[in-house]
Amino acid sequence: MQPLMIYSTINRITDSSANPALKGLFSLIGLPLLLVSLLLLTFSAQAQLKVVTTTSMIAGLAQNIGGQHVEVTALMGSGVDPHLYKATQGDLRRLAQADIILYNGLHLEGKMQDVFEKMARKKAVFPVSSLIPNSQLRQHGHFPDPHIWFDLSLWQQAGQRVLQILQQQDPKNQQAYADNAKVYLNEMQQLHLWIGSQVESIPEKQRILITAHDAFGYFGQAYGMQVMGLQGISTASEFGLQDIKQLKDIIVQNQIKAVFVESSVSPRFIQSLVAGVKAEGHDLSIGGELYSDAMGKSDTPTGNYFGMVKHNVKTIVDALKN
């Protein structure tokens, strides 16, 4: 509501036709004081930074670090594959109206890269992965692995980048952002340690994680698991019969009990792999659904970053340790 509209509204309420009780209240507290209070509330609401993110994982960083000073919108919801995602007209409007745009980078949002480059000429557009040294990134051919949120030590660095960006764009609330980040990133560090202890409960020979695509490489690297995907680091990559045969041989040789489907990837290829392995006499099951490139629905525990991570770890451990 604009200031002139507020002033006009108050005048209508306090005219002779208004409710006598309301008129008496306004007389008691004073019209100028009321007007100032309403204006302060209005300007406070308007002062929130509009932050638009690509994935919901990044939205979680921005919301927890930004707190009450940000209004966060994620373009990609539950079950959305960021590797294949194309911006809609509605997305372009949201991006145009944003004060800050945050994306993962490392070619995760490959089909939106041109949009970010064009908008960066006029707006605050940042990849949250930019603080992570190249030496800590997994390389696949000519491209880095973008799935950094599954190593919580790397995702803490992404959080530090979000903190820097918010403080740069909104200096007056620097301390609030720093305080929020300290709490959130400390909780993330505790979760990082918990994951390591959970994975240790899986017998060492059974710490082999096979999924639809290679989204858990950082997870395996950080927490001591061998990780393989039917597809490469992008769901846009293709695989052939030789890839399937190689996985079948690994599964049989290592007596792997379970493989996993992903919420944002079609399960049919993993289902075919399971059927093929069973046809050769090895008992293999689907150990559960993991959240890889997208979190769960917003009204569920997996719609929260910490909840998603805990779900994945519990699903993996329960399927492989017995």
Average of per-residue pLDDT across 82-110: 96
Please tell me whether residues 148 and 65 are part of one structural domain: yes
Query: DSSP labels for 21-88?
Result: HHHHHHHHH-HHHHHHHHHHHHHHHHTSEEEEESSHHHHHHHHHHHGGGEEEEESS-TT--TTT----
Q: Are strands 139-140 and 143-144 parallel, antiparallel or unpaired?
A: antiparallel
In which domain, by residue range, is 252 found?
201-320
End-to-end CA distance of the chain: 60
Q: Which of residues 196, 229, 245 is at a domain's end?
A: 196
Please tell me whether residues 90 and 210 are part of one structural domain: no
Please tell me whether residues 270 and 308 are part of one structural domain: yes
The structural domain count of the chain equals 3
pLDDT for 8 beyond 80 = no
Please tell me whether residues 15 and 86 are part of one structural domain: no
Q: Which of residues 178, 196, 214 is at a domain's end?
A: 196
Rounded CA-CA distance 153/160 in Å is 11
Rounded CA-CA distance 240/230 in Å is 9
* 210: β partners: 228
Please tell me whether residues 163 and 284 are part of one structural domain: no
Q: What pLDDT shows up at residue 322?
A: 74
pLDDT for 237 beyond 70 = no
Average of per-residue pLDDT across 73-91: 95
Please tell me whether residues 213 and 302 are part of one structural domain: yes
Please tell me whether residues 184 and 271 are part of one structural domain: no
pLDDT for 30 beyond 90 = no
Angle at 271 between CA 265 and CA 139, to 5 degrees: 45
Q: What pLDDT shows up at residue 308?
A: 98
Please tell me whether residues 72 and 169 are part of one structural domain: yes
Please tell me whether residues 129 and 161 are part of one structural domain: yes
Average of per-residue pLDDT across 271-286: 90
Please tell me whether residues 15 and 84 are part of one structural domain: no
Q: How confident is the model at residue 112 (pLDDT cuts 50, 70, 90)?
A: very high
Please tell me whether residues 277 and 174 are part of one structural domain: no
Instruction: Give residue-wise pLDDT tens across range 198-224.
Output: 999 999 999 999 998 889 999 999 999
Q: What pLDDT shows up at residue 7?
A: 39
Rounded CA-CA distance 148/104 in Å is 9
Q: Which of residues 196, 231, 247 is at a domain's end?
A: 196
Instruction: Give residue-wise pLDDT tens across range 151-166.
Output: 999 999 999 999 999 9
In this predicted model, which residue has the larger pLDDT, 5 or 69?
Answer: 69
Residue % of the chain over a pLDDT of 90? 68
Q: What pLDDT shows up at residue 65?
A: 98
What are the phi and psi torsion angles at 261 (to 5°)?
-95, 165
Q: CB within 8 A of 18, min separation 6: which ones?
A: 12
Q: What pLDDT shows up at residue 5?
A: 43
Q: How confident is the model at residue 247 (pLDDT cuts 50, 70, 90)?
A: confident
Please tell me whether residues 135 and 234 are part of one structural domain: no
Rounded CA-CA distance 320/322 in Å is 6
Q: Which residue has the tokens 């007056």?
A: 172
pTM here? Answer: 0.83
Q: How confident is the model at residue 13 (pLDDT cuts 50, 70, 90)?
A: very low
Average of per-residue pLDDT across 70-84: 95
Whole-angstrom CA distances from 4 to 24, 29, 34, 41 are 23, 20, 14, 14
Average of per-residue pLDDT across 116-140: 96
pLDDT for 233 beyond 50 = yes
In this predicted model, which residue has the larger pLDDT, 136 or 32?
Answer: 136
CATH of residue 244's domain is 3.40.50.1980
Give the highest mean pLDDT range of 31-35, 93-97, 267-271: 93-97
Q: What pLDDT shows up at residue 50?
A: 98
